Amino acid sequence: MMKKFASNAEILEAAKAPGKQMLFFSADWCPDCRFIKPAMPEVEKDFADYNFIYVDRDDNIEVAQQMGVMGIPSFIAFEDGKEIGRFVNKDRKTKQEVEDFISSLA
């Protein structure tokens, strides 16, 4: 189950936590985000070694800006507090593309 934090500070703290974290930048109004959202529970199940964290681009614009996220949906992976990869652009992403990105991090 994807976690959602209210504050920017909580999101940044969660990204730095030990283990693997995957930030999923999205917004309710974004059609490409709505396209990938139904696939996310399965992606989370397939990559259970990651903690998935939902970041609302509008509610948490400071986090998005700080991490250089201009387009959504986007994904940034962290391991033990260090960024290990990003899939950040404004394009629609398929479940296969997201899973290929996460697999490439191993």
Residue 30 designated active-site: yes
Strands (E), the chain: 3-4, 20-26, 50-56, 74-79, 82-87
Residue-wise burial string across 21-37, b where 16 or more C-beta atoms lie within 10 A, e elsewhere? bbbbbbbeebebbeebb
Question: How many CA atoms lie within 13 Å of 13's alpha carbon, on the beta-carbon side?
Answer: 8
Residue 7 designated active-site: no
Structure tokens at 51: 């903690």
Catalytic residue among 30, 55, 69, 102: 30
Catalytic residue among 22, 33, 43, 64: 33
What positions carry a catalytic annotation? 30, 33
